[in-house]
A and B are shown apart, each in its own frame.
Chain A
Amino acid sequence: MRHTEQDVSKEPTPRRRARAQALSIALAVTPFGVAFGAAATDAGLETWQTAGFSLFVFAGSAQFAAVEILGDGGSVAAAVTAGLLLNLRSVAFGVALVDAMPASRWKRALAAQLMIDETAAVATVQPDRDTSRYAYWFTGLALFAMWNVSTLVGATVVASSADLIHDLGLDATVPAAFLALLWPRLDQPTHRVVAVAGAAIAVLTTPFVPPGLPVILALVTVVPSVLRRETTS
């Protein structure tokens, strides 16, 4: 939709709109942060380790995956592999976000740490490069702050009692969070097939292979599509 000059002047400025987008997303991830903190503590992690995941890994789905696998008794290799495969998409974000990256090398090194689904989503929908850079930093820093604070709340306040996690049904929030992250990707038939087949393989192999491995085995479902020869765009 096109706007006349007059329409544009009445609208919020692009920066203000970017801030509003960033803050609403930052609020939305708060329960996930709390759930992560509680889940990690439940999986046997110390508070400093839990906080370390949110500070230094800073990638929601990978953090959840790693502590879930560790909590089930899985190996370091399984936890790290699942986490890294979930984050392969940051490589694609990095390419898509070239315009949003700062010019200075040092700033870019910091900006890279903030590269997650949410920063990519907000930065790529801005009208121009300047707003895009601004939106990237604002979203990234807001998310980073909220994610780390909510992780600490989850790890200290909520996880103080295992009964509380059980009684409040917080253990169900982790698979629910995975489902919520998966949901927007189920818009394509191929994705639905991969999701259903992957889920089935993981559940059915659970009694027979070491913990953590079932999730990795689910990846066989992507092999046919990835190896497809044709060069569709």
Chain B
Amino acid sequence: MTATVTLVLLAIGTYGLKALGPFLLAGRPELPAWLTRLSNLAPVALLAALAAVGTLTTRQDLTVDARLGGVLAAGVALWLKAPFVLVVIAAALTTAATRAVTG
């Protein structure tokens, strides 16, 4: 139920944001500066937070496990300018290998 409500609200809200430009702002030369800054910066904060929480927490506990190695491997792959596919594969392989070795 929670997932369905989230799905409906997020779908409506996301479509609204996507349609805002083509339908309402088409004549405008540019967005207000604060909105441009927010739309540039909010994803940076959120993506970093999501990556960190997804790596270092389990439910409400701080945890260090095989995921950390996987995400670090992804970071190295990104550093080496690897394509997205390889980044994801590097993360999965490193994590899987760590688990296979440490049980």
Contact = CB atoms under 8 A, between A and B. Distances in A.
A226 B50 contact: no
Interface string B59-103: 111100011001100110010000111011111111111111000
B71 A172 contact: yes
A169 B88 contact: no
A97 B42 CA distance: 21
Contact of B45 (A27, A166, A173, A222): A222
> In which size bucket is the chain A interface?
35 or more
Contact of A218 (B49, B54, B97): B49
Interface in A22-73: 27-32, 35, 44-46, 49, 52-53, 56-59, 61-62, 64-68, 70, 72-73
Interface in B31-73: 31, 33-57, 59-62, 66-67, 70-71
B17 to A, nearest CB: 5
A183 B44 CA distance: 9
B52 A225 contact: no
A227 B52 CA distance: 26
A85 B57 CA distance: 22
A80 B6 contact: yes
A66 B22 CA distance: 25
> In which size bucket is the chain B interface?
35 or more
A153 interface: no
Interface stretch (A2-10, A13-21, A121-129, A174-182): A174-182
Contact of A65 (B15, B31, B36, B50): B50
A1 interface: no
* Secondary structure dominating the interface of A: helix
Given A68-B53, A194-B48, A202-B48, 11 more contacts: A62-B14, A64-B50, A80-B10, A87-B14, A94-B25, A97-B21, A97-B22, A115-B21, A172-B94, A175-B51, A218-B45
A149 interface: no
Contacts of B84: 28-29, 31-32, 180
A197 B52 CA distance: 11
A87 B17 contact: yes
Contacts of A175: 50-55, 67, 71, 74, 91
Given A113-B15, A231-B33, A199 B28 contact: no
A82 interface: yes
A93 B14 CA distance: 13
A72 B61 CA distance: 11
B80 to A, nearest CB: 11
A125 B39 CA distance: 21
B11 to A, nearest CB: 4
Contact of A84 (B13, B49, B50): B13
A73 B48 contact: no
Given A88-B42, A94-B20, A108-B23, A176 B70 contact: yes
Interface string A190-203: 11001111111111
